[in-house]
């Protein structure tokens, strides 16, 4: 089997506040361990949906993340590093699910 030539970036999803538009910056959260802000996201849309279900004011967005993209240290410690990532900045690419609660 030949290696794939598909070099598209992975899809990242984020449950975030409602009302974001394409191109808007995604919400950043302070990491108290290093004092820096990050945009956190997941590689699994069903995880983003589960997070949004717990918050009536959240929608689900597909986001781009700026380099460097790294595993969320908390998730990595729980062997979930491949599901949760963080980046210094992120932007909304598309609204996937709008929460209408």
Q: pLDDT by residue (tens digit) across 68-78?
A: 999 898 876 67
Average pLDDT of the residues in 31-54:
94
What is the DSSP secondary structure assignment for residue 26, as one 8-state letter? Answer: P
Dist CA 53 CA 5 (whole Å): 36
Name the percent of the chain lying above pLDDT 70: 82
- Domains in the chain and their CATH numbers? 12-97 (3.20.170.40)
Q: What is the pLDDT of residue 1?
A: 39
DSSP per-residue codes, 58-94: EEEEEEEEPSPPEE-HHHHHTT-TTTEEEES-EEEEE
Largest CA distance in the chain: 47
* pLDDT at residue 64 in the model: 96
Residue 42 CB-half CA count within 13 A: 17
Average pLDDT over residues 9-36: 92
């Amino acid at each position: 089997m030949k290696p794939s030539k598909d070099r598209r970036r992975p899809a990242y999803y984020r449950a975030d506040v409602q009302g974001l538009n394409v191109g808007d910056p995604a919400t950043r959260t302070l990491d108290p361990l290093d004092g820096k802000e990050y945009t956190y996201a997941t590689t699994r849309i069903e995880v983003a949906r589960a997070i949004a279900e717990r918050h009536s004011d959240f929608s689900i967005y597909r986001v781009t993340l700026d380099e460097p993209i790294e595993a969320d240290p908390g998730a990595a410690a729980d062997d979930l590093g491949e599901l949760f990532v963080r980046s210094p900045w992120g932007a909304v690419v598309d609204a996937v699910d709008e929460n209408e609660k």
